[in-house]
Structure 1
Amino acid sequence: MDIQILKSSISRQSSIAITGSKSESNRLLLLQALYPEISISNLSNSDDSVLMQKALQSNDEVVDIHHAGTAMRFLTAYFSTRVGRETILTGSSRMKERPIRILVDALKSLGADINYLENEGYPPLKINGKNLSKTKVSLNANVSSQYISALLLIASRLENGLELTLDGKITSVPYIKMTLALLNEIGIDTEFEGNQILVKPFTSPPKVDNITVESDWSSASYFYSIIAMSEIGTQVSLSAYKVNSLQGDSVLSQIYGQFGVETQFDNNTVFIKKVTNVSINTKIELDLSNAPDIAQTISVTAFGLGLECSLSGLHTLKIKETDRLVALKVELEKLGAEVVITDATLHLKPSTKIFSDVEIATYNDHRMAMAFAPLGLKTSLKVKDADVVSKSYPQFWEDLKTLGFNLK
């Protein structure tokens, strides 16, 4: 399905309810599989979380998680601990190109029995569940936090817990802290000092019987972008959000101050409002090591406002649903931007021209579709394969219509 976005203007005030965080939901689903006493409220309705839930409930030998990268990492760890169960874990053609050796090597060092069925270092995997009795493992600190979280999530069910050493400068710290905070909420003891993380074994009943998932901050980013490109005084309220969020992408509330957007919290609602226009000479410089998923949104916002933008800490974007840095460069340049990328950075030159009626390719990547949509406030454009948004935010296009976007 393609969607044509005609140049739109939006309501001065709107309210949107956003589903639970995919990151929190997938962590809690795995913890629920390990501790079935837990129930979860405000679970994400994203494809990834639906696939994760289905996989955890499946007794089939072959488990196919399609494009769901988080599920691939978390389930590799989970199935390696299911004593006596043999599982073949596979996914889409793109998933078979996404590396998993780092996690597999770490699990093998703990005693796991995992074999590659096609290309060495990549899914699909044949996993024979075993009792993992070893306790110590090391990883490079700059790897995807999903590898680290996968190990931490199963750690409390390992016979002797887990002592994880991270070598080098740690990236994506908020996602690691999110995982540890959810473990702590259940009652699991953890320590995170310097480059060492300790998770103690836990066989008691959980301290809580229900956990409510906070709404997804990554999904909120598209509304920050919309407000940034709107007229002064335009406001949207989003629910349900916490001031003290576990999600790294909650840094949006500070970052978008640079785009003239004010954030206020009231109970579990966040109000975002355009309060000032940004000078055309403004240069946005950000290290997004701890929040790489909002890089696409920020790049497009800066382009829509004609601002210069330099983003760093983006090395993990190359192994996402697509190589997001290359995809961003290609699609922004279609619209008239000048973009320079390296393996870990993106530099957008200031530009006042935005071409009309450009077709934006989405590369099976939900964030490409949603990040470019706010440009409908500046120009008309077409988003190809727009239903890819169901991976994380199935209601996205309906919510844009609620704001006043003119979609065909």
Structure 2
Amino acid sequence: MNAQKPELLQHPIFVAPSNLMAAQPEVPSSKYYTLRYVLAAALAAGESRIILPALSDDSDALFRGCRALGADLEWEDEQQQVLLIRGSGRPRATGPVTINVGNAGAVARLFLGLGALLPDITFVTDHPQSLGKRPNRELLEALTQLGVTCEGTGVEGCLPITLHGGAIRGGKVTISGARSSQYLSSLLFLAPLLPDGLEITVVDGLKSQPLVRATLEVLQEAGIRVEYDDHLLAFRIAPGQQYQARTYTIPGDYPSAAALLAAYAVSNDPASELRLSRLRPGDEVGEALLQAFRDMGADLRVNGEQVTLRGGRRLRGFELDGDPVIDCIPVLVAAACFAEGESVISNIESLHYKESDRINDLCAELRKAGCSVEPQEDAIIIQGRPQGVEGGAVVDGHNDHRVLMALAIVGLRSRRGLTLTGAEHIAKSYPHFFEELQRCGADIHPVTPQA
């Protein structure tokens, strides 16, 4: 069931300065919703169908985890567009369980909560320099409050992690929302399966609220009742609930669309027109993302689920509260590098704790390309260069798909192109991203080693 790796990712790649042409690429399915719907289906007793799930390295980790918790997954079609899931009703295992979560942070965290229902489960990663460095301390502290014995690595609770649970009942728990909303989502998926239910109090604020609302939306569709306040800081989940088998259709992925939109937004050619479909209107992340492109002056039109963006516009500097579109920030920074004037993207401190440090690492690589970017603890300040940047450098993706997308966009508008190392990590969420850019007219080719 592994997502097939494109041949282009076998070596470093060169992104040459390119003019993009009119194109209608297919947007990948939403990673956010694939994770949540597949998980809800795996926890339901009976058969569910997932139509158009995302296919990526993260999806592979998700499918492995669901099987380890007792669900059966198989494709109904050779095109891998419909996934049949026979759920287990709750995590079940007779002996110790080990799950390799790959480089999928959200998968790891949501499964950590459900793993508390098993007597002995260990989470490992084969990406120690990326996911292996991401903190889980706050979530492990919350699980400890519920009676789980948690064995994490280091003071921040990094992987590998072993949990000894199985007999937890629920009750009341406090969780910090300062660094990640995934901790809260993990508890929300766990809560209906606890004999005494769960009351959750969120402290220190809550990052990425749109993704918590996505969790609540999916839980409701799966038949789970959750009571919560308007600020998403207090939740009550009654005991005795069961996930219901359903058919779910996955919408298009806005963070992936953001990369394509940014590539066209920075184009100087008004003939470069991008048309994207299957982008659900009213999506909270999507609406904030599209507004950001409007604020920078992009030629953007929306008609139902179709979004069209035409290049050739002079972009302008803008200010953005980045938290609602946190996974789109690297490509928005890349676009701002070619806008006129200063752009300030703030409220993004959580980017320090992603697959890479998406503030400092991203800015270090953009500076190699000739961009004027200033990293701060909670923001990135960009001095735009509408005339373009020099390029001609070797830049690294830091094991991070979002950083790779941003660097590719800059390479397209540089004078001498960019060589990207670590390009294979694009497969985490969008395995065919570089091939898609090629079909849009980009000159991208592998850099093969000299004999």
> What is the TM-score normalised by the length of structure 1?
0.92
Please provide the CA RMSD for this pair: 2.1
**1:395, CA displacement in angstroms?**
1.2
Aligned: 1:147 with 2:156: no
The whole-number CA distance in structure 1 between the counterparts of 2:286 and 2:117 is 31
**For residue 260 of structure 1, what is the aligned residue in structure 2?**
297
The one-letter code of the counterpart of 1:402 is R
What's the counterpart of residue 331 of structure 1?
365
Q: Distance in 2 between matches of 1:36 and 1:365?
A: 36
Decide which moves more: 177-186 or 306-315: 306-315
- Distance in 2 (CA, whole Å) between partners of 1:32 and 1:170 is 27
CA–CA distance in 2 between the matches of 1:119 and 1:96?
A: 13
Displacement after TM superposition at 1:306 (Å): 4.7
TM-aligned CA distance change 1:14 to 1:314, over 3 Å: same
Unmatched runs of 5 consecutive residues or more in structure 2: 1-10, 70-95, 446-451
Residues 248-268 of structure 1 deviation map (CA, whole Å, 9 limit, x = unaligned): 254211110123324444453
Q: 2:277 aligns with which of 222, 227, 239?
A: 239
Deviates more, 1:161-170 or 1:110-119: 110-119
Amino acid at match of 1:52: L
Write the mapping of 1:363-374 to structure 2, written as runs, cut at 5 A: 363-374=398-409
| Partner SS state of residue 159, structure 2 | coil
Q: Which amino acid aligns with 1:28?
A: Y
Q: Please show how residues 111-150 of structure 1 align to structure 2 within 5 Å.
A: 111-116=147-152, 121-150=157-186
Could you tell me how far apart the structure 1 residues matched to 2:156 and 2:288 are? 37
Distance 1:178 1:205 in 2: 16
CA contact (8 A) 1:118 1:124 kept: no
CA distance in 1 between counterparts of 2:403 and 2:156 reads 29
8 Å contact kept, 1:288–1:312: yes
Which runs of 4 or more aligned residues in structure 1 lie more than 4 Å from their structure 2 counterparts after TM superposition? 117-120
- Asked whether 1:303 is paired with 2:337, we answer yes
Deviates more, 1:179-188 or 1:61-70: 61-70
Deviation at 1:185, TM superposition (A): 1.1
Instruction: Check conservation: 1:292, 1:313, Cα contact below 8 A.
Output: no
In the alignment of these two chains, the number of paired residues is 400
SS in 1 for 2:275: strand
Pick which of 289-298 and 194-203 moved more.
194-203
Q: How has the CA–CA distance of structure 1 residues 26 and 137 changed in structure 2, closer, same or farther, with 3 Å as cutoff?
A: same
Residue aligning to 2:52: 42
For residue 25 of structure 2, give the secondary structure of its aligned residue in structure 1.
strand
SS at match of 1:123: strand
- Pick from 62, 66, 78 the counterpart of residue 56 of structure 1: 66
How far does residue 199 in structure 1 lie from its aligned partner after superposition? 2.6
Identify which of 355, 366, 388 aligns with 1:321.
355
Structure 1 residue matching 2:158: 3-state secondary structure: coil
Write the distance in 2 (CA, Å) between the matches of 1:120 and 1:102. Answer: 8
Letter in structure 1 aligned against 2:297: G
Residue in structure 2 matching 1:361, options 396, 417, 422: 396
Matched, 1:184 2:239: no
Indicate the residue corresponding to 1:2 in structure 2: 12
Alpha-carbon contact 1:174-1:290 (below 8 Å) kept = yes
SS at match of 1:75: helix
CA distance in 1, matches of 2:18, 2:102: 34
Q: Give % identity.
A: 25
Counterpart-to-counterpart distance in 1, 2:397 and 2:148: 37
Distance 1:244-1:200 versus aligned 2 partners, 3 A rule: farther
Q: Which runs of 5+ in 1 are unaligned?
A: none
User: Equivalences for 1:92-107 in 2 at 5 Å?
Assistant: 92-94=127-129, 95-107=131-143
Task: Please tell me whether residue 197 in structure 1 is matched to residue 235 in structure 2.
Answer: yes
**TM-score normalised to the size of structure 2?**
0.83
Give the corresponding residue for 2:207. Answer: 171
Seen in structure 2, the aligned counterparts of structure 1 residues 74 and 205 have a Cα distance that, compared at 3 Å, is: closer
CA deviation string 1:78-127 (max 9, x = no partner): 11113x4x221111213232211100110111222322366662221112
- Aligned residue in 2 for 1:225: 262
For the residues of structure 2 that align with 1:326 and 1:375, how far apart are their CA atoms? 17
Q: Which amino acid in the other structure matches residue 112 of structure 2?
A: T
Q: Is the 8 A contact 1:89 1:124 kept in 2?
A: yes
Instruction: Look up the SS of the partner of 2:318 in the other structure.
Output: strand
Aligned partner letter, 2:307? V
CA contact (8 A) 2:193 2:242 kept: no
